[in-house]
Structure 1
């Protein structure tokens, strides 16, 4: 049985961490499989949405495997390239949902923060255990934490390994939705449906603009052009949107 399972359903690919006995901690093999999964998502034009989930009851992901830690596959950063830690950052161009439960620790917390939409079950607990464990190496997770959370909340997690409950994560805007554990799959499906109702090319173009724009001052971000937006201007989806508007009907997206 693979430690990372890929489950395809129409335009959606679920990427499932599958080492529940090890709390889905990420070893080098899982990291390689994650790199392959993200390449599949980006390379297949018929995949419009990716969903990151995890098997087992206790944890979404307990971080990197201390016995066989990830080393970066073909020079990519940990998490199959998503995190920017320990290698080359390879951001995912398509929308990514993370549906998390139980322990969300270290590298697992980092992976969740790499998603565009986070859904958390009420039993989820986010934590950076490094300070308490006396371990520090690459520290990409702290840079995301201080950008995605209020400063003092993030610093409490970073310096004292303070936990963050799912309810507080939702209150602080880190997660999009907090639901009872038994409703996690249903909530993920609801977000998938909302994303599939939108043009996949517009979603990719907007994500690209958002990601690139964050790297530069606002004035520059507003003034530059973005390749995916330029490409959309001559796409079938743009024509479909214009025709659907004229006919007052729902567009049928092709992702082309």
Structure 2
């Protein structure tokens, strides 16, 4: 079943630009005037988008990037924090996402990652993050739940929380999945005093490829397009298995492996794969 197509003329979206091409959903964070920082509107829109992509069978992979070439995302929009309403978002207290983020009890309060993270929103389709400039602070919610990260050679990474007197907690916890402990500590504790280059991010495994900026979209498209061409059930089961393996003890993860194999095996796709093997008609590969 194919649900409502997504397109750039979707009037419901004011902070995102979305299109679908050959099974790949292209998601652009579109607030370039504030370096693609997110406000309550973007949080609400992106959470809704992940929910829609989850149910859209045409979409088999996702690319997320930022508008322009200056920034991927610079975290929460602090530009209006001194405004009279106290948050500068322009949202009303009646907005559900705003209310959840500002709940008085810490046991009831939501975190922005509950809206930003594709995995946190139940989207178990491969997400490729194409980092086209600055990625800092809350950007690590997105990067922490992306499956493959590539970067333009001009991309930089840092976490300014401590510089502004705030503890960095959720962001470094996400980064610990992808970076060595010492690198997470250095990036987080130095705040705005130091930025990590795309080259260094490649060296430590935060990103898997660095390309010139004018080749970033093509590189992300090649990765996502290759994934989108594969049997979706097999891809989604594989994705689940790898994330489960990153979160559970090895014995626990292996304990659910048979269930994932059973759930992710489509007899028709398996037969087509066997025919591809017999015919020798394999896809052309590239060396990385």
Question: Is the pair's TM-score, using the shorter chain for normalization, greater than 0.5?
Answer: yes
Give the structure 1 partner of residue 278 of structure 2.
246
Q: Does 1:204 align with 2:216?
A: no
What is the rounded CA distance, in whole Å, between the counterparts of 2:77 and 2:111 in structure 1? 15
Shift of 1:102: 1.6
Show CA shifts across 1:180-231 (max 9, x none). 1111112112212332343322211111111122222112212324655312
Distance 1:226 1:63, change over 3 A: farther
What is the rounded CA distance, in whole Å, between the counterparts of 1:52 and 1:76 in structure 2? 23
Give the structure 2 partner of residue 24 of structure 1.
36
Out of 209, 221, 224, the position equivalent to 1:177 is 209
Give the structure 2 partner of residue 157 of structure 1.
187
Distance 1:97 1:4, change over 3 A: same
Out of 242, 250, 260, the position equivalent to 1:218 is 250
Q: CA RMSD in A?
A: 2.5
Q: State the TM-score, normalized to the length of structure 1.
A: 0.86
Shift of 1:146: 2.6
Distance 1:234 1:124, change over 3 A: closer
Distance 1:227 1:25, change over 3 A: farther
Query: How many residues end up aligned between the 2 structures?
Result: 246
Computing the radius of gyration over CA atoms, which structure comes out larger, 1 or 2? Answer: 2
1:205 and 1:228 in contact (8 A); partners too:
yes
Q: State the TM-score, normalized to the length of structure 2.
A: 0.77
Give the structure 2 partner of residue 237 of structure 1.
269
1:83 and 1:114 in contact (8 A); partners too:
yes
Distance 1:145 1:104, change over 3 A: same
What is the rounded CA distance, in whole Å, between the counterparts of 2:130 and 2:123 in structure 1? 17
Runs of 4 or more off by more than 6 Å in structure 1? none
Q: Which runs of 5+ in 2 are unaligned?
A: 1-12, 79-87, 92-96, 102-108, 284-288
Give the structure 2 partner of residue 48 of structure 1.
60
Distance 1:5 1:177, change over 3 A: same
What is the rounded CA distance, in whole Å, between the counterparts of 2:254 and 2:183 in structure 1? 31
What is the rounded CA distance, in whole Å, between the counterparts of 2:55 and 2:239 in structure 1? 16
Q: Secondary structure at the match of 1:214?
A: helix
Give the structure 2 partner of residue 145 of structure 1.
175
